[in-house]
Amino acid sequence: MNNLVLNSERLNNVLENKENSFQDIIEIYKQTQNDPRELFSTAQELRKKFKNQTVTFSKKAFFNVVNLCKDTCSYCTYKAEPGDEKLSLMSKQQIVELLQLAKKYKCVEALFVTGEQPEQKYPEAREWLTKNGFSSTSEYLIHASELALELGLFPHTNAGNLNYDEMKELKKTNVSMGIMLENVSERLTERGMPHYLAASKRPNTRLEILENSGKLKIPMTTGILVGIGETMEEIIQSIFAIKQLHQKYGNIQEVILQNFQPKPDTVMKDSPSANENYFKTVVALSRIIMPEMNIQIPPNLSPKSYQSFLSVGINDWGGISPLTPDFVNPEFTWPEISKVEENSKKAGFELKCRFPVYPEFFSFIGKELRDKISIIENEEGLVKEEYWK
């Protein structure tokens, strides 16, 4: 039974597990805009109710497989052009070497990331694939995933807009997959807006990929990017779009709330990063829209204050790597896992290591993958402490 009684009728309804409409959430936001304390305490209460005092993370190695990309987003520094110093075209040998190193560092997740269908735009990408014996990026990813499994690491692929058949094949070797929805706003795809030159970020295209992941029963990570010129209504719409997909298919395993950070050499280099109070409000609203969801923020993007987000509803830090940078945000280094553990503890939470697939989604994966997980799994469905520490 909930002991918290609030002035806001709508927030009391949230705590009593009553269904909230889009309009209800808009009203809650308007009511709490000047004083978000009741909103924050509601989110904290829900987090406690559904997630206890645990905060999880995935110990990973980041494989920057290929960073050529057919899209152009006005805030991205991940994408490289042929001849760039940061260009990455990993060979099979490099993948094997990094997998072996990841194993030595007791990583659990092999995160495979690529640009958006690079072979469609760049002859260099086609040559690289041919040289390694593949005709498409997704074929290469299947091979890399098999190599990871052989070494006892668990693949999670984030390769943009894969089609239904590619995802179906990758499901055999990937315990989970990911694609950021970013935002459902069509306005953000208009001229002068961040997604204008990024056809793959069209909301309907992204929603279709998430829909396919649902049909295929793939444990899916998705999320939104906060602070790229959206309105709070557009954020709430985006979280509702994710919620509706999850209600339909039950396969969204976590929602990432990623705060925009401006990067030099990009069109949006002078745009301010998301204001912290605004970002916390987004986190708290996400928790009340989806009370049982796994919600994470990347700790490296809020280095001075990430632990304070535990009190507004998050229960996961995402993947943290002890050996590879965050190639999407290279200027923000990962905090040391021991530091994250210490800061989580100070905030009253216990840090635990999870697989790239959450325990409640184990039933979505094939027997072979499930058997491999069980070798290093504890009674909670998380990674045995003696394995990752």
Q: Say if 35 falls within a structural domain.
A: no
pLDDT in tens, 261-310: 554 565 555 555 667 888 999 999 999 999 999 999 988 888 888 888 99
Q: Say if 29 falls within a structural domain.
A: no
pLDDT at 196 over 90: no
d(CA 90, CA 374): 30
Q: Say if 4 falls within a structural domain.
A: no
pLDDT at 74 over 80: no
**What domain count does the chain have?**
1
d(CA 254, CA 252): 6
- As given in the structure block, the two tokens for residue 200 are 């793959």
- As given in the structure block, the two tokens for residue 318 are 């995402």
Q: Say if 10 falls within a structural domain.
A: no
pLDDT score for 76 = 66
Looking at every residue in the chain, the average pLDDT score rounds to 89
What is the identity of the amino acid at 126? R
Q: Say if 23 falls within a structural domain.
A: no
pLDDT in tens, 91-106: 999 999 999 999 999 9
pLDDT in tens, 235-254: 999 999 999 999 999 999 99
pLDDT score for 131 = 93
CB neighbour list of residue 13: distance below 8 Å, 6 or more residues apart: 20, 24
Helix/strand/coil for 109: strand
The CATH number covering residue 159 comes to 3.20.20.70
Using alpha carbons only, what angle is made at residue 333 by residues 284 and 70, rounded to the nearest 5 degrees? 85
In which domain, by residue range, is 88 found? 47-388
State the pLDDT confidence band at 184, using cuts at 50, 70 and 90: confident
d(CA 40, CA 97): 45
Q: Say if 42 falls within a structural domain.
A: no
221 sits in the region (left: phi over 0; alpha: psi -120 to 50; else beta) called beta
pLDDT in tens, 225-234: 888 788 899 9
d(CA 252, CA 193): 28
State percent of the chain over pLDDT 70: 91
pLDDT in tens, 132-156: 999 999 999 999 999 999 999 999 9
pLDDT score for 284 = 96
Helix/strand/coil for 317: strand
Question: Whole-prediction pTM value?
Answer: 0.92
Please, are residues 198 and 73 in contact by the beta-carbon 8 Å criterion? yes
Cα torsion angle, 259, 323, 178, 217, sign: negative
pLDDT score for 305 = 85
Q: Say if 39 falls within a structural domain.
A: no
pLDDT at 51 over 90: yes
E strands, 136-251, are 154-158, 176-178, 220-226
Q: Say if 308 falls within a structural domain.
A: yes
pLDDT score for 1 = 42
d(CA 131, CA 387): 36
Please, are residues 383 and 353 in contact by the beta-carbon 8 Å criterion? yes
pLDDT in tens, 326-377: 888 777 788 999 999 999 999 999 999 999 999 999 999 999 999 999 999 9
